[in-house]
Amino acid sequence: MIKQTIAFLGAGSMAEAMISGMVESGNIPAQQIIVTNRQNQDRLNEIQNKYGVRTVLKDDLNYSEVDQFILAMKPKDIDAVLEDLKYKITPNQVLVSVLAGISTSYMEERLNDKQQVIRVMPNTSSMLRESATAICPGQYTQMDNVIVAKELLQSIGKVFVIDEENMDVFTGIAGSGPAYFYYLMENIEETGNAEGMDRETLREIGAQTLLGAAKMMLERDESPTELRENVTSPNGTTAAGLEALHQSGGGEAISDAIKGAASRSKEMSKELEGLLVGSK
């Protein structure tokens, strides 16, 4: 059971997905989770009623009782938040950021000397405790705090400790990834519906097909290539489907999506530093 007190700064969709998973896991008592935002009291009431966590507007937060702050606002708000936190926190406290594109050094440079920070990239499947989450600590972060953060994040799915240089591509794969699969599902639904099937059934069929494939990947010791080949009979339907996918640039499209998201992640902190034109 996690003994530290956690405060979310930001109560949007990512924060809610994490809060839901954490509370559901039972690994941390709901009363040890404090959720804040700047001014939307209705949103805080909603979160408190749903999950039984404590909520407070950020200006009323007792900063000294918090062990780990989870930064969950939009990247554009990071400078104001760090400037504010600098005067309110001590080196014993840890900042865990889920913000896309914001590096540990970006945060360290704007905080007090040797502040402990951790960069994390979860995804919205945290809601059901099925996130694929990356974690990379800053240079001053104590190992015992990394372990607690990891334990906390394990309550919302699988955790991968990775080098920071891979954080952008991880974001392109797993942080943004759920959206690619939802997009795929939207197109499955559209196509099946145009052929006369009803959308509700199609949604279930698409999801079950994706779930089955994901489970095969996780539970069988076979590569995606082997699994794909097992579906593909010579001159059969799958071969025809894959050929059409190939002709339409399917593989390239997936690769471009990941590269596009990763490159946007890289760009974001540069934008904030004013190194790119048309920033913020």
Ligand X SMILES: NC(=O)C1=CN([C@@H]2O[C@H](COP(=O)(O)OP(=O)(O)OC[C@H]3O[C@@H](n4cnc5c(N)ncnc54)[C@H](O)[C@@H]3O)[C@@H](O)[C@H]2O)C=CC1
Query: Which residues of the chain form contacts with ligand A1CAB (CB under 6 A)?
Result: 100, 171, 175-176
At residue 191, what is the residue type? T
Of 20, 32, 37, 145, the one binding ligand X by CB under 6 A: 37
C-alpha–C-alpha distance, residues 202 and 15, integer Å? 30
127 binds, options ligand X, ligand A1CAB, none, Cβ within 5 to 8 A by partner type: none
* Min dist. Cβ of residue 3 to ligand X (A): 24
C-alpha–C-alpha distance, residues 132 and 18, integer Å? 12
**DSSP states of 176-233:** SHHHHHHHHHHHHHHHHHHTT--HHHHHHHHHHHHHHHHHHHHHSS--HHHHHHHH--
Distances from the Cα of 231 to the Cα of 152, 235, 248, 255, angstroms:
38, 12, 20, 22
Of 2, 6, 9, 132, the one binding ligand X by CB under 6 A: 9
Residue nearest to ligand X (CB): 12
* Min dist. Cβ of residue 8 to ligand X (A): 8
58 binds, options ligand X, ligand A1CAB, none, Cβ within 5 to 8 A by partner type: ligand X
Q: Is 177 in the site for ligand X (CB under 6 A)?
A: no
* Min dist. Cβ of residue 127 to ligand A1CAB (A): 14
The smaller minimum CB distance to ligand X, of residues 130 and 216, is found at: 130
* Min dist. Cβ of residue 162 to ligand A1CAB (A): 15
Give the tokens for residue 140: 């001053």
Q: Is 98 in the site for ligand X (CB under 6 A)?
A: yes
Q: Is 174 in the site for ligand X (CB under 6 A)?
A: no
Q: Is 41 in the site for ligand X (CB under 6 A)?
A: no
* Min dist. Cβ of residue 192 to ligand A1CAB (A): 27
Q: Is 75 in the site for ligand X (CB under 6 A)?
A: yes
* Min dist. Cβ of residue 80 to ligand X (A): 6
C-alpha–C-alpha distance, residues 150 and 103, integer Å? 18
Q: Does residue 158 sit in helix, strand or coil?
A: strand
- CA torsion sign for 109, 156, 17, 90 is negative
Contacts of 52 (CB under 8 A, 6+ apart): 23, 30, 31
C-alpha–C-alpha distance, residues 49 and 117, integer Å? 30
- DSSP 8-state class, residue 80: H
Of 46, 77, 151, 267, the one binding ligand X by CB under 6 A: 77
125 binds, options ligand A1CAB, ligand X, none, Cβ within 5 to 8 A by partner type: none
Nearest to 270 by CA among 145, 64, 106: 106
The smaller minimum CB distance to ligand X, of residues 58 and 129, is found at: 58
Interacting residue ranges for ligand X, rule: CB under 6 A: 9-15, 36-38, 40, 58, 72-75, 77, 81, 98-100, 121-124, 175
